[in-house]
Amino acid sequence: MSLRSLLTTGLLAAGALAAPPGYGGSTVTVTVTEKASCSASTSHSTSHSTSHSTSHSTSHSTSKASTPKTYATSTPSSSHSSTSSTLTSSSATSVTTTTSSAANTNASTTILATATSTSYGLNDAAKKAGKLWFGTALDVPGTGEAQDPYYIAEFDNIHDFGEATPANIMKYEFTEPEAGVFNYTGAEEFFTAAAGKAVRCHNLIWSSELPAFITAPTVPWTNATLTAALRRHVTTLVEHFGDRCYSLDVVNEAFSDSPAGAYSANVWYNTIGPAYVVEAFQAASDAVRANNLAVKLYYNDYNIEYLGNKSYAAQALVKDLKNRGIQIDGVGLESHFIAGETPAKAAQQANMEAFTALDVDVVVTELDVRLTLPPTVASESQQVVDYYNTVAACVAVPRCVGIVVWDFDDTYSWIPGTFPGQGYGDLFLQPGGANTPLVRKAPYDGVLEALTGAAEAN
């Protein structure tokens, strides 16, 4: 795979930057003048399928690793392999990199960008491209993010982020910790933090982060009693949050990877059967209509970003709900990817178009692209291409209405705690650690270039 002029203006480094904590070594400055060569896998890894978690920690801490989301990656056909992209740039290509010390033979070269402020950012570019916003998830309140002034300053940068998704605080265990007892304290703090941004409220019904009264009831659930609890939760939250949410993820991750497209076993499915998804959307739809709300209702999942059995199952769900006259407005494509194993732009675009042909919108809801640590020039160059291809696919599809990254700063990433030996998946890093200035990474400009249409992926 050949890449030319990967880096745009934001990647010009005025001087050597310190390596991120844990990567160690000296710094050197290199000038990229030739096409860089990198290889990409032609299929998704299957090695993570055994690590798909069915439960999350129930406590918050300063890192999202305390409530990890684990994602299996299935193997699409070879047509989903990463394709080469030529990213154009009118700027010079001198970049600062860090290399390892001789003692650490596994560490290699890492591209870093300059820490520069901008009056034109990702959200500006997304809106100009016809999207509603470019956004981010964050784990506020209750984590170190909320106390990190540099992190919060970048989150508040409306030029980069016009949307916010609560990573945890609106989930079942936090909003209804006891049966019929609702707690909106954390959710209201999130709305305050996200003032001025659209909010994708995440999520109402999922198999994880559930309160004990659901997972360990004193009296065993029946179909009727658990359905009633589900409908109470959905109805109450739709009514309370209302149109403060741009959209609500009504059901999250209902489908399995093994076999792909089957329903996952969980407390809802085991007691109610597949009808639990219909019941959740019916309750949300009824609440929207009864309260004359404009909030949009979404189904959200991972490994439905390319055509395959799991994506087809999600399409079938959309058709079923529509045939029943139940409201569903969109599908969230989580897009947790591995550098070099990310579906090609054409594959992602075709998949998005398959959903929008069903008269629903799509959103890239949880985008990150993780690397094997330590990062190298080759792996981060591939990461730039992978970010570019996902965003460019959305740009190409009119009813892909926005892109959301699953947090934007490596300091607070969920990845290292879930996939040991992997990380470096976000758009920013803090070379000095938490509570220090942020630095834009190479993928930021790949995303910006995709949004501005300055280059075309092959």
Q: Name the residues annotated as catalytic.
A: 253, 366
Task: Kindly give the pairing relationship between strand 336-338 and strand 260-263.
Answer: unpaired
How is residue 435 annotated by DSSP? T
Task: Kindly give the pairing relationship between strand 400-405 and strand 361-372.
Answer: parallel
By C-alpha distance, which of 391, 389, 305 is closest to 354?
305
- C-alpha radius of gyration, the chain, whole number: 21
Q: Which residues lie below 8 Å from residue 40, measured CB to CB, with a gap of 6+? A: 1, 81, 82, 340, 341, 382, 385
Residue 366's SS3 state is strand
Task: Report in angstroms the alpha-carbon separations of 121 from 154, 196, 323.
Answer: 11, 16, 41
Residue 137's SS3 state is strand
User: What are the residues facing 370 on neighbouring strands?
Assistant: 338
By C-alpha distance, which of 335, 362, 346, 240 is closest to 293?
240
Task: Report in angstroms the alpha-carbon separations of 180 from 172, 183, 429.
Answer: 12, 10, 41
**How far apart, in whole angstroms, are the C-alpha atoms of residue 444 and residue 446?**
5
E runs forming strands in 23-109 = 27-31, 36-37, 94-98
Backbone angles phi, psi at 143, to 5 degrees: -130, 175
How is residue 170 annotated by DSSP? T
User: What are the residues facing 439 on neighbouring strands?
Assistant: 429
The answer to whether 23 and 98 have CB atoms below 8 angstroms apart is yes
Residue 75 CB neighbour total at 10 angstroms: 16
**How far apart, in whole angstroms, are the C-alpha atoms of residue 388 and residue 361?**
21
The answer to whether 426 and 139 have CB atoms below 8 angstroms apart is no
